[in-house]
Amino acid sequence: MLEQDRFLHGFALLLCICLGSLLSGIAVSEIPLGSKLSVGESNSWVSSNVDFAIGFYNFPDQPKQFSVGIRFNSKSVPVDKQTVVWVAGGDVTVGNNSYFQLQENGELVLFDALQGEEVWTSKTSQLSVALAVLRDDGNLVLLNENRDVIWQSFDSPTDTLLPGQRLSTFRTLRAASQNYVSSLYSLYMNVSGQLQLRWESSIIYWSAGRPSHSNLSAVLSSDGSLQLVALNLERFWSVFGEDHNDTVRFRFLRLDVDGNLRLYSWMEVSQTWRSVWQAVENQCNVFATCDQQGICAFNASGSHVCTCPFHHAVQSNSKCLVSSQHDCKPGSIMVEHANMFLYGIYPVHDFISLTSLDKCKSMCLSDPSCTAVTFTNDGSAKCRMMKTQYVSGYSDPSLSATSFVKRCSDPLAADPIFPLKSPPQAYKEPYNICIPCLVGAASGTIFVFIVIQLGMGFYLYKRKNIYRRLASLAHSRPGSKCLIILSFTEIKELTGNFSDQIGPKMFKGALPDKQPVAVKELEGTIEARKFRAAVSKVGSIYHEGLAKLEGYCCEFDHRYLVYEYAENGSLDKYIENPTLAERLTWRKRMDISLSVGRAIFYLHTECREFLCHGNLKCENVVLDENFEAKVKEFGLGMLYGEASSRRASAQKDVEDFGKMVLTLVSGFKEVKDVLDWAYKEWMEGNPENVVDKRLKNEVDAEELECALRIAFWCLQADERVKPSMGEVVKVLEGTLPADPPPPPFSCLISAREVEDTSESGSEV
């Protein structure tokens, strides 16, 4: 508990609240249209009880980057303890001279003066907003003339819940970003009535409630309890803080950056925020709590620490990575670590089998891709195999798990090599030398050499300056995740003047550290402000199933995106090429479907704001060196001004995903030509006829049935019956059954008939 006090105190000290807001903030009951907050004026809007205020703030390590947030404002809470409880746009930051305004059309807008454009809005311009109010409970609301709530900050939480605020089904809290990278930790309320702490979207490391109730919400009560309640306020689960029912003026629930969910209370006597409850008692049980810094353990004082116990591990930029075995010529050995449980991250998919300890070791030793294994026996002997350098976990004397990490064995001593004596040279008569001839030849050679050196020096100087700038951008600080901003000249340097084309308007290149990248050329007519805003949003997103955006070029009429490079290229070439198609085994095709599904689900529900792909197809799925699928070119619809509702955008991705699954199953790239045939074969009990003929007898009948059903559901013409991506992923994971789907185009035919009838009627 003392450790949490220190953590919270340290975080609060980092928060530099604009002191001018205390002077210029005015307690108002209403915020009229046209009201504005600006960075330069340091003004704020304050609730009528003066307990909350909204205004600009920044952090000491980012003095020129500002966010708009609601914070505690009570005089009883010192300035350095006035915690921010809501942030407009989540991770969005703006520069000097920016402003936050309730416009005359009723829309809240955050305008970045640095980019010269709006970076976040409440999207309420068409909803007849008449005014705004910062309520006494910390909720910023937009009202119409009838005082009905049109929009409220309580419906779009960031990392915090205040008393009375609901986290309803499909809503998410996400921990604050670090080093410009969105956190992978989230608190999620699922449709089955469970509150879940998750890492990415696939790892659930804590949950509350039973999976038997729907339409539940998580609510923090004013008396210090966290509850799961139904719409009629019936309570199904609750947990209480240590000071439950005590007189406490301020409380909040926050998902902290370390992945733990904590309930905080304000202590008037000590003038501190105190953690009175946390979801995961043992911090080491929070998945990937040490991320890439090793494994979690507890020191003598009882505090958790991250250590790197692998003496042979690669330690770069404070990362603790298990050594790669690809160049292990002397052979490998398994190093034992008792009372230690390991698991892989990036990716997280370990291979678990039921076997003995000795067999577990030998399996890893004989598998070139295996890096570590963990053996446990809690009634059944299990072997967890990892195939990644990114390994995390925890260690404790009470753990019955034993882990083995592969390392290269010591190389054999080599025989010393002694220098050989040169044989005696035979005596030769000296030759007569023409001194003037030698001087003339030397002078001419030196002159030509100097001219060549000057030319090469000038070229290398320009080239070196470019690469030096690239290196400084890419490595401005250890672990930097900032987007690299490149000039068109630098793009040409990276790609060798676009000499290696790997796809339509796609070129292979390399950064100065030899890291390969893929450079995508876009239309030069895209508006610069819109382009920068879109890439800034896309560049802050990380998921193992999404191709990482490394940088971009926006210079004159040049628009380029720089992605991480995928060694095995795009998925479509494996579908089209008969030879390459043999590498797409049935197991790999199902893995690709699940990986892509999880990535799209992440875009729809796990990001700060909903993001659709908009153009999901085999060409936009690439395979890395491990043949793992990564989705690229997501979110590019923002660049072309494609405006559609969230539901319509999500349904488009679902439909495109269904086409991709059917392509992977059948091997046909043009799904529309075979959809009716595939559905007919399935209905007649011959699903095996739909399977790609290039596949051997390796198809799992149950997986085939599952894949076809979910593909047909995704391709339903009636959008009301299409599944969400969350439901799609659960079906592919095997945790949710799929009913037999109706004909995909039956509804479409009837809809067309109605449309044709209405058109002919209007003509008459």
Strands 295-298 and 391-395: parallel
Of 615, 626, 486, which Cα lies nearest the Cα of 563? 486
Instruction: Provide the CB-side half-sphere exposure for 459 (13 A, CA).
Output: 7
pLDDT band at residue 541 using 50, 70 and 90 as cut-offs: confident
C-alpha distances in Å from residue 26, one per residue of 39, 54, 199, 210, 471: 16, 11, 41, 46, 48
pLDDT digits (tens, 9 = 90+) for 451-509: 566 656 655 545 555 444 444 444 333 333 467 888 899 999 999 999 999 888 899 99
Per-residue pLDDT at 200 exceeds 70: yes
- Those residues whose C-beta lies under 8 Å from the C-beta of residue 495, and which sit 6 or more positions away, are 507, 508, 509, 519
How many residues make up the chain in this entry?
764
Mean pLDDT in residue range 172-184: 81
Check residue 82 and give its pLDDT. Answer: 95
Residues contacting residue 122 through CB under 8 Å, at least 6 positions apart: 107, 108, 109, 142, 151
> In the prediction, which pLDDT does 688 show?
92
pLDDT band for position 26 (cuts 50, 70, 90): very low
The mean pLDDT value for 61-82 works out to: 91
Per-residue model confidence (pLDDT) at position 44: 93
Closest CA to 240 of 232, 255, 231, 251: 251
Whole-number CA gyration radius for the chain: 31
Nearest alpha-carbon partner for 36 in 128, 114, 101, 90: 101
Q: Which among 271, 308, 303, 261 has a CA at the least distance from the CA of 284?
A: 303
> How many whole angstroms from its chain centre is CA 29?
39
Tell me the one-letter amino acid at 445: T
pLDDT in tens, 244-274: 888 899 999 999 999 999 999 999 999 999 9
pLDDT surpasses 50 at 751: no
Question: For the chain, how far is it from start to end, CA to CA, in angstroms?
Answer: 78
Q: Which of 25-29, 207-211, 450-454, 469-473 has the highest mean pLDDT?
A: 207-211
State the pLDDT at residue 750. 37
Sorted by where each starts, the structural domains of the chain and their CATH numbers stand as: 27-156 (2.90.10.10), 295-408 (3.50.4.10), 484-564 (3.30.200.20), 570-733 (1.10.510.10)
The pLDDT, as a whole number, for residue 641 is 57
CA pair distance 552, 564, nearest whole angstrom: 12
* Range in 9-18, 55-64, 206-215, 269-278 with the lowest mean pLDDT: 9-18
Q: What percent of the chain lies above the pLDDT cut of 90?
A: 45
Residue 19 in this model has a pLDDT that exceeds 60: no
Q: What pLDDT shows up at residue 257?
A: 94
Is the pLDDT assigned to residue 220 strictly greater than 70? Answer: yes
pLDDT in tens, 570-612: 999 999 888 888 889 999 999 999 999 999 998 888 776 778 8
Q: What is the pLDDT of residue 99?
A: 96
Q: Is the pLDDT of residue 437 over 60?
A: no
Distance separating alpha carbons of residues 308 and 324, to the nearest angstrom: 16
Tokens standing for residue 671: 């799904």
Do residues 201 and 170 touch, judged by C-beta distance below 8 A?
no
Q: Which residue has the higher pLDDT, 350 or 436?
A: 350
Q: For residues 638-659, give the mean pLDDT.
A: 77
pTM here? 0.59
**pLDDT score of 18:** 40
What residue has token string 């509150």? 195
Rounded distance between C-alpha atoms, residue 603 and residue 613, angstroms: 8
Residues 140-153 have a mean pLDDT of 96
Peptide bond into 397 cis (omega under 30): no
Which has the higher per-residue pLDDT, 151 or 6? 151
pLDDT in tens, 119-137: 899 999 999 999 999 999 9
Residue range 662-679, pLDDT digits in tens = 999 999 988 887 898 999
Q: How far apart are CA 616 and CA 751, in angstroms?
A: 25
pLDDT score at 443 = 61
Strand segments, DSSP code E, in 686-753 are none
Query: Average per-residue pLDDT in the chain?
Result: 82
Q: Which of 636-645, 695-704, 747-756 has the weakest average pLDDT? A: 747-756
Cα 201 from chain centre: 10
Higher-confidence residue of 212 and 67: namely: 67
Tell me the pLDDT tens digit for each residue of 340-377: 999 998 877 788 888 899 999 999 998 888 999 999 98
Task: Kindly state the average pLDDT of the residues 699-721.
Answer: 90
Share of the chain above pLDDT 70, in %: 80
Are the C-beta atoms of residues 515 and 563 closer than 8 Å to each other?
Answer: no
Distance CA 338, CA 665 (A): 44
Sort residue 317 into left (φ over 0), alpha (ψ -120 to 50) or beta. left
